[in-house]
Structure 1
Amino acid sequence: MSANRTVYLVSGANRGIGLGLVTALASRPNTIVFAGARDPAAQSLKALSAKHPNVHGVKLTLGDKADNEAAVAEIQRIAGQLDVIIANAGVLTHSSGPLAEIPISAFRNDWEINTLGNVILFQTAHHLLLASPSKAPRFAMISSSAASIGTYFPLRVAAYGSSKAAANFLVKVMDQEHPSLISLAIHPGWVQTDMGNHGALANGMPEAPETVEDSVNGILARVDQATSKELSGRSLHSRTPSADLC
């Protein structure tokens, strides 16, 4: 193991923000990047791995304990350490509607993946993560302003927003229970992904206002700056330093 290199795990890495994160990290010196995806053989990841030997695709289905255990074992085998987890994978099952009409199945699915999926990821990886040679391991969950109570905006996505709000709370729990761990919830902005553009169309916009590249740069700036406990346990906007969304 080496404190001179940084080993990342990014979930939901085969497209959108996740793929953008892996692409940006792959170009950094002294890094190993594990790209977690339900299909690690996706063409996007195969092409990236061919260009960057420091990128390794691993099968990682959020909420699937066996997948998580196998992925962490693969990280241990190849790299022998884990320094940063960026928990990006997530789902929005029901795109819009009032609380009285959202199917309960949408709540169950969003909470199973967005909330419990991150619990399983943390429970599976925390021993390796907390043993990071950096002495300051980081767990950054990609959240959403839809989860904010203090800056509530009526997006009509109660299942998704509540699942992310619960996950934000768990980020705070991680911070309190593990003094060496830096845990963050990061709102990526309204990004030009499948999910972001779908929401934009529903609001009369041709596409979401923020590019994947700009969002990724903001997210990684937050992760890079989180080298002490000052920011740990907070929900932050990727582009606005002073914005705390808790």
Structure 2
Amino acid sequence: MSNKTVYLVTGANRGIGLGLVSVLAARPDAIVFAGARDPAAQSLKDLAAKHPNLHPIKFVVNDKANNEEAIAEIKKTAGQLDVVIPNAGVAKYVGPVSTTPPSEYRDHWEINTLGTIVLFQAAQELLLASPTGAPIFAYISTGAGSISRYFSLQATPYGSSKAAANFIVKALDAENPTLVVFAISPGWVATDMGNPGAAAAGLSEAPISVAESVEGVLSRIDGATKEKSSGRFWNFKPTFGGMPWDLDQDEIPW
């Protein structure tokens, strides 16, 4: 077993995922597996050339066989898995419930909700055997998945799929005494996924940079414990400004 921390980040070829693996790979005590549908993406090739501790691997969301193969590769290469960050997701439709095609709900739930379950089921044996004794499963959620703190983006396929995955987080926390599992909202981030919604809201781009989001997300993951962190829905950091998407607390209501 390695004395380094072994991470798996999905959706790692762009946006928040690429930001996360870029920061993690720069840590001398980390081994980072960057999961992407195309592990040969230029962004990952360039990063791996700089950091030999970064390993791009093929990861297809909600593909049971592929997820099991990816975990087997991690076990073969590193011998352990300590932190899983399910970041891969989809947000591709804006419109009212009255006209949203059922296929859009199905697509979002398949990726954002079921994909999280499939990943955990594939990773659980290796993850729960982590020599740290307190493995971490940190789901990248969204403030738009909060029911109590609802605000209308007219993106119900996305928001509802994330709210459902948040429920899975609560169940995993209850079912696994040693697993540190929680949801994190990364903020409304200026990425290929976040910017189209910003344009629909009349903004030039989403208000949070990738670097700012990544810093906040990792501040929740680093040092997380079962007692203080698990089974909760964390904000990447409090944000202020009075806009509907601003969340001025550390913890977001479910």
**Match runs of 1:77-116 below 5 Å:** 77-94=76-93, 96-116=94-114
**Structure 1 segments of 4+ aligned residues over 6 angstroms from their partners:** none
Deviations 1:216-239 (A, max 9, x none): 000000001312332201111101
**Match runs of 1:152-231 below 5 Å:** 152-231=150-229
2:172 aligns to what SS in structure 1?
A: helix
In the aligned structure 1, how far is the partner of 2:250 from the partner of 2:21? 26
Aligned-pair Cα RMSD in Å: 0.9
1:243 aligns with 2:242: no
Deviations 1:188-230 (A, max 9, x none): 0011101111111101110111100000000000001312332
In the aligned structure 1, how far is the partner of 2:217 from the partner of 2:253? 15
In the aligned structure 1, how far is the partner of 2:33 from the partner of 2:181? 19
In the aligned structure 2, how far is the partner of 1:225 from the partner of 1:81? 19
State the 1:157 CA deviation: 0.6
1:76 aligns with 2:84: no
Are the counterparts in 2 of residues 93 and 109 from structure 1 also a CA contact under 8 Å? no
In the aligned structure 2, how far is the partner of 1:93 from the partner of 1:107? 10
Are the counterparts in 2 of residues 61 and 68 from structure 1 also a CA contact under 8 Å? yes
Deviations 1:131-154 (A, max 9, x none): 000001000110011110110001
1:57 aligns to what SS in structure 2?
A: strand
Q: Which amino acid aligns with 1:235?
A: F
Are the counterparts in 2 of residues 33 and 56 from structure 1 also a CA contact under 8 Å? yes
In the aligned structure 2, how far is the partner of 1:243 from the partner of 1:136? 21
Q: Which amino acid aligns with 1:42?
A: A
State the 1:50 CA deviation: 0.6
**Match runs of 1:8-47 below 5 Å:** 8-47=7-46
Give unpaired runs (5+ residues) of structure 2. Answer: 239-248
Q: Which amino acid aligns with 2:133?
A: K
Deviations 1:80-130 (A, max 9, x none): 000000000000131x11111100000000000000000000000000000
Q: Which residue does 2:56 correspond to in 1?
A: 57
In the aligned structure 1, how far is the partner of 2:253 from the partner of 2:42? 35
In the aligned structure 2, how far is the partner of 1:70 from the partner of 1:126? 13
In the aligned structure 1, how far is the partner of 2:237 from the partner of 2:197? 20
In the aligned structure 1, how far is the partner of 2:51 from the partner of 2:187? 28
The match for 1:233 among 231, 234, 244 is: 231
Count of residue pairs the alignment pairs up: 244
In the aligned structure 2, how far is the partner of 1:229 from the partner of 1:89? 27
TM-score relative to the length of structure 2: 0.94
Are the counterparts in 1 of residues 59 and 67 from structure 2 also a CA contact under 8 Å? yes
Q: Which residue does 1:6 correspond to in 2?
A: 5
TM-score relative to the length of structure 1: 0.97
Identity %: 60
**Match runs of 1:135-146 below 5 Å:** 135-146=133-144
State the 1:29 CA deviation: 1.6
1:101 aligns to what SS in structure 2?
A: coil
2:55 aligns to what SS in structure 1?
A: strand
